[in-house]
Amino acid sequence: MNQETKKLLLEALQLPPEARAALAGQLIESLDAEVDEGVEAAWSLEIARRLAELETGKVKSVPWAEARRQIMRPAGEPSGS
């Protein structure tokens, strides 16, 4: 990483979390040279399906802190629930 990039990173890290997330998303999107319309369509359907499951009560959301604990739990460790 060159000096200009390091300076830019330090400035970006001073942004509020929401702005950093938006910037990160835009940077990641900029790496995709071409859009696969089939993949985009599949993700749109998946997002709609998951939202419908939440709205109908078929699935329940969990707070981020709990989801993170579950994600970070070592493989094979019981969930405790």
pLDDT single digits (tens) 46-81: 999 999 999 999 999 999 999 999 999 888 777 765
Instruction: For residue range 17-45, list pLDDT tens digits in order.
Output: 999 999 999 999 888 778 788 988 999 99
pLDDT at position 35 is 76
CB atoms inside a 10 Å sphere around CB 12: 13
Domain boundaries defined on the chain: 1-32, 34-73
Nearest to residue 12, comparing CAs of 29, 1, 21, 3? 21
